[in-house]
Amino acid sequence: MGLFGGVDDLERFLTRSCYLSLGSVPACWGLTIFLIGDVGWHFSFLVGCVLPLIAAYLGIRGKREIHTAMSATAFGLALASLPLMLGLAYLEGL
């Protein structure tokens, strides 16, 4: 499972997925606050508030229970929440 730099260590994968999912929460919330101040409120910003929390929960739980699928889901949600939020905001603005 060498995802980050060819590392084949399960514990390192779980830890990095957990940290990435936890780090996505303040990043998405900060971007949401910036975009609300800049362009106004859109319902797509709820994605930026809710999905990182779900990803953080799954990342912590996946590391604690040693579930690689749960950690990979948290990793995917953490990466997908930002483009999804911006894409939906763009579609709402049309």
**Tens-digit pLDDT profile for residues 54-79:** 999 999 999 999 888 999 999 999 99
**For residue 57, what pLDDT is reported?**
94
Centre a 10 Å sphere on the Cβ of residue 37 and count the other Cβ atoms it contains: 8
* pLDDT value for 5: 59
Say whether pLDDT at 46 is over 90. no
CA 55-61-65 angle, to 5 degrees, is 145
pLDDT for 7 equals 56
Can you give the pLDDT at residue 35? 85
Residue 33 has pLDDT above 70, yes or no: yes
CA 63 to chain CA centroid, Å, is: 15
Q: How far apart are CA 50 and CA 70, in angstroms?
A: 17
Mean pLDDT for the chain overall? 85
